[in-house]
Structure 1
Amino acid sequence: MPDSGTVLVITGAFDPTADLVIEELNRRAVPVFRADTAWFPSRLAVAAGLDGAPVGWRGEFASECRSLDLAAVRSVYYRRPTPSEFPSELSPEARAVAAAEARRGFGGLLSALPARWLPPPGRAAEAESKPLQLRVAAECGLRVPRTLITNRPDAVRQFASRIGGPVVYKPFTPIRGTVGGESVAVYASVLRPEDIGHPSIAATAHLFQEWVPKAYEVRLTAVGGRLFAAGIHAESDAARTDWRSDYDSLRYRVCDVPAEVAAGVHRVLARLGLPYGAFDFVVTPSGNWVFLEVNPNGQYGFVEQATGLPITAAICDYLEEDER
């Protein structure tokens, strides 16, 4: 099949979310070229030229089995690529130089393609900032929890006193690792009295928020202006604090999005320059929607599987459109 109108999918070897999109694009007979930045330079070669005419870069990517005409790329699904790999015999200094050149050369060429991106990698990286998300969400009319970022134990004590109720700690980024041979993760947690003002807070930046009473939570997935919302109902104490800590206790129900919330979500996406966002909200017992965060490249497959919401189809609709 010719590569005219090819969707370039950039992701790691194991990515069930990208698999869903590729399967749907295949069903639609849309050409797909899947690659990982880790393949460059050992398993993926590039040759591209610019001759001064206003036609952009011309050339190809070539793997052992396939090649891709860069002029044929209509859109890029940028999921979870892994860093370039280099021969072990390279010295650490040479490997660092090669990695930097690969990011700016190979990665720069990717970003220069005149194609529709989901999401644009630069915008997505900026939008992952929790402080930026919270500020933009508040400016766009969404309710946000009272929040403190600090490394001062006394500031946490003052914040907790001002809140007058439970305080939640949240990591800025997902924290996962292995301790004693077992996989562990750090999730949002309600501070115990002895944790408030603990000296270890001084070691780095921490994010604290007021606890927002929950009737349930919502994962709202926005794709190219379309909104898909699923209520997440937790049935364990751990999941009521952070539903990601206990998926087995969750029930999902499709729900409607209040007009003012939908308008705020669209404004947030426009401000952040994102065509896609996985938003998390708390819905209080009184029905107020409170913004927690937005992931510019978040998982959605578990919601689609549980509810039947056509999120994969919406992503493929977006990737099929051609803005060149």
Structure 2
Amino acid sequence: MKPLPPVTPISLARHGIDRDHLTRGQDGDLAEVWEAGAHPVFEHRGALLVAAGGLFSPDRELVPTGQTEIYLGCDSDGDRYIGVSLDDAGRSELDSHLAASRARDATDLLTAPGGGLDSAEPTWLPLRQLAEALDDVEVSLACELVGLGNWHRAHQFSPRTGTPTRPILGGWVREDPDTGSQHFPRTDPAVIVVIVNTDDEGTERVLLGNNVAWESDRYSLLAGFVEPGETLEHAVTREVYEEAHLEVINPRYLGSQPWPFPCSLMLGFSAEAPSREFAADEDEIASLKWFTRDELNAAIENESVRAPGTVSIAGQLLANWLDNV
């Protein structure tokens, strides 16, 4: 196969924030960062508060008390940002404040911009919907905040003692107050693979799979989590064989993308398949298909196949192969 170029950082892989770890401090008190004029941004169960084309950042007075606050870092202008991961009560309080503000201001809904990210009024949208619309700084903040918010919600108790833990180090660590043990955010590495077969005439085909949980016309690349004690390359060959009973060779790293749903890092690879003989495992993969470039482009155009978009690294890797003529 013709070697694929590295994946260009787009969508969730873009970076525009200095995480400024020395400013996090040793405890969970961010008073000094707030006093320096930090901007709040909000997350609730993976959704972000947006308005007027970007993340909504009001005055600190609107930040509900008792929420998880995380120092996210600073941008190139030195502006600092604190992410606020809201629980249900915190979101309800914030929404009530915003509703009261709207009632006071009486914004003319006939002339205000429409909905979604460009709404004149703050609205909650999921990160996947915002991934390609936010700028580099805001997508960095959003990925940090959603990933850490997911982790805080899932790790409120010490795995050793069951004691409630508390945030320290600017929200980047949780500590057991009884034992002093510290617990750090987890990231689950997963590989995702462009599998290519080249026939005797030099024609390339890519293998795509339909997951058992998806609609029958939705296809994507094969992927799976890295298991303890194995290399990334071995994870590639193992996952492909488990899901497709297909042996692949020459796994080659092409790039990565954070996928905080809830805490993954997707590691993109290409691999060569000497044979096109496969058998879907039917536990995870319902069906598999080989496509030439012309066949896949035609199937996408006539809507017989739904391929991943470039919000995910799956779509980016597939686009790299389609363009690599």
- TM bucket (normalised to shorter chain) is under 0.3
TM-score, normalization: structure 2? 0.23
Normalized per residue, the structure richer in helix is: 1
TM-score normalised to structure 1 length: 0.23
